[in-house]
Amino acid sequence: MSCLHQGPGRTFHLFQQALITEITGNPFALLSLIAAPAVLTNAASLLALSTSNRFLRAGERLRAVIAKVEKAETKDDKKFWLRHMDRIEKQASLLLGALRAIYVSLGSFVLTSLVSIFGAALASQQFHPWDNFMMALALSIGFVGAIAIVQGCLSLFRATRLSLINIHEEADLIRQRETACFTDNVD
C-alpha cells in the first residue's frame, strides 16, 4: 500500500521519520540545526555592537563639525562644513535605522530558536497537529530576521559611503590648503 492511500497523517509521520533519519544520519544537518541560530544570533549581536559604536562616533564627529562651522572665517568654509554636517546627520539616521533592523533580526533569531525548541518539545510529546505550524512559524520568523539583517547591512553600506565622501572632501581641502601654503612660501 502506498503512502498516498494511507492518509495525510500517515504520510506526515513517514516524512517526519525520514527527516529524523536524515538528521541523525547526516552530521552536517544536525550541526546546521544546532549551530545556525547560534551563529546568526552572535553575528547580529556583534553587528549591533559595532553599529552602536559607529552611531556614537557620528555624534562625536557632528559636535566637532559644529565647532568648525562656528569657527569658520569664510563663507566657503562655512558652506563646506555645513555640507559635512548634513551628511553626518544623514549618516546618523542611517545608522539608527540599521541598528533598529539589526535589533529586529536579533530578536527574530532568538525567537526562532525558542519556537524551534518548543516545537521539538511538542513533537516529542506526539502533538503532531502542531508540528507543521511550529515549523512554518520558526521558518517565517527566521526569514524576518534574515531580511532585517540584510536591510541593516544595506543601511550600513549607505552610511559608510557618506563617511567616505566626507573623508575625500576633507583630504582635498587639506591638499588645497597645503598647496596654497607651499605656493605662498615659495614666492
HEC readout, the chain = CCHHHHCHHHHHHHHHHHHHHHHHHCHHHHHHHHHHHHHHHHHHHHHHHHHHHHHHHHHHHHHHHHHHHHHCCCHHHHHHHHHHHHHHHHHHHHHHHHHHHHHHHHHHHHHHHHHHHHHHHHHHCCCHHHHHHHHHHHHHHHHHHHHHHHHHHHHHHHHHHHHHHHHHHHHHHHHHHHHHHHHHHHC
Domain range for 95 is 37-186
Q: How many domains does the chain have?
A: 1
Confidence (pLDDT) at 131: 74
- pLDDT tens profile 143-176: 999 999 999 999 999 999 999 999 999 999 888 8
pLDDT, mean over the chain: 82
Residue at 166 is within a domain: yes
Residue at 52 is within a domain: yes
Residue at 11 is within a domain: no
pTM of the model: 0.74
Confidence (pLDDT) at 181: 79
CATH number of the domain that residue 171 is part of: 1.20.58
Residue at 16 is within a domain: no
Residue at 17 is within a domain: no
- pLDDT tens profile 98-123: 999 999 999 999 898 888 778 777 77
Residue at 172 is within a domain: yes
Residue 178 burial (CB count, 10 A):
10
What does the pLDDT average to over 74-78?
91
Residue at 8 is within a domain: no
